[in-house]
Amino acid sequence: MNRFIILSGCSGGGKSTLLAELARRGFATVEEPGRRIVIEETRNGGTALPWIDMQAFARRAIAMALEDRRVTPKEGLVFFDRGLIDAASALHHISGDHFIDTLRHAHRYNSLVFLTPPWPEIYHGDDERKHGLDAAVEEYERLVRDYARLDYETVIVPKEPVSERATMVLERLAKVV
């Protein structure tokens, strides 16, 4: 859908901060499935965690991302922090599952995908992000390849203050939406 916009890229690159700024400006936003799953699994003693069972985690993220698409507002732009393609990319990477190949024609998002690049100066781990910067950069490079393979145009979000990042995203979208 042309109004569904993905913010993806490197873990710790400022996606969530950018999403919060877009929400502050009145846009509908959807939090990253992965973080929601980690919080829920940790609270419930579950094992669908990236450091325990990455395949189960990725499958849960796919299911959650599909549900997120279904329950979004019916009008206006909706910004997704990661989502379906990121989860399918992870599943393909760890298991060889080919669900990602179906996404070339099904469950489409806006053709522009905004990627936050690796930004070591702001990267930090936390209770939901236990991997290091090297793993985050590897994931970023895989996502760049997978989005291109699925015929999305990636736009690298500059390393600027969040207000400038949000303005750039909205200006770029104004040209295509």
Where does the pLDDT of residue 89 fall: very low under 50, low under 70, confident under 90, or very high at 90 and above?
A: very high
Question: Per the structure block, which two tokens stand in for 2?
Answer: 């042309």
Distance CA 60, CA 45 (A): 15
Number of domains in the chain: 1
| pLDDT band, residue 135 (cuts 50/70/90) | confident
CATH number of the domain where residue 30 is located: 3.40.50.300
Query: Which domain covers residue 118, as residue numbers?
Result: 4-174
Mean pLDDT of the chain: 90
Distances (CA, A) of 171 to 18, 127, 168, 175, 176: 14, 34, 5, 7, 9
- What percent of the chain lies above the pLDDT cut of 70? 90
pLDDT at 126 over 60: no
Global confidence as pTM: 0.89
Classify residue 20 as left (phi > 0), alpha (psi -120 to 50) or beta: alpha
Give the separation between CA 34 and CA 120, rounded to whole angstroms.
21
> Confidence class of residue 81 from pLDDT cuts 50, 70 and 90?
very high
Say how far apart CA 150 and CA 64 lie, in whole Å.
20
Q: What is the number of other CB atoms lying within 10 angstroms of the CB of residue 90?
A: 26
